[in-house]
Amino acid sequence: MTEGPGAEFSKSWVERSVEDAGTAAVRAALAAFAERFDLVREFLDAPFGRHSADLRFVLDVMRSQPTAGKWFTIMTKPYSEWRAARWSPDGLDIAEMAPACFQTREDVERWVFKQRWRHLIGALPLQESDDEA
């Protein structure tokens, strides 16, 4: 059994889920960004295009996580409706679809970003009144 301060460290490697693997290290690397209101705002304002070096780092880490359990976007009607979906534990099937439908790709990307931020970093440092997630 591996020793360490968190619940993730109290499990043997056999007991760990795919989602647990590496999560502690990722969360530690991203902890410095937990209060970065500016990064959340930067992404919400412009999900596509050029981003600052710090936001690119956060996005690269978010996007490089194992597929299993990760939220992603899916077009449900050609160029007019998008939804967010979550991969199954084996990363081969869709396990869950978010209830909301989005009219723009930017909006669904914002929703997925918020979910990934919460999963890897914690509560969003910026809470919006129109936050659907």
Q: Averaged in consecutive runs of 10 residues, what is the pLDDT profile of the chain (133 residues)?
A: 45 48 78 93 96 96 92 96 96 94 98 95 71 51
Domain ranges, residue 41: 7-120
As a whole number of angstroms, the distance between CA 96 and CA 72 comes to 11
129 is a domain residue: no
29 is a domain residue: yes
The single residue listed with the structure tokens 């970065």 is 36
CB neighbour burial string for 56-92, b if at least 16 within 10 angstroms, e if fewer: eebbebbeebeebbbbbbeeeeeeeebbbbbbeeeee
Residue 102 is classified by DSSP as: B
CB neighbour burial string for 11-33, b if at least 16 within 10 angstroms, e if fewer: eeeeeeeeeeeebbebbeebeeb
39 is a domain residue: yes
pLDDT at 16: 46
133 is a domain residue: no
pLDDT at 22: 64
Contact criterion met (CB below 8 Å) for 124 and 114: yes
Q: In what order do the strands lie in the sheet with 81-87?
A: 71-77, 81-87, 94-97
1 is a domain residue: no
43 is a domain residue: yes
pLDDT at 23: 75
As a whole number of angstroms, the distance between CA 3 and CA 16 comes to 14
pTM of the model: 0.77
21 is a domain residue: yes
As a whole number of angstroms, the distance between CA 87 and CA 70 comes to 6
Number of domains present in the structure of the chain: 1
45 is a domain residue: yes
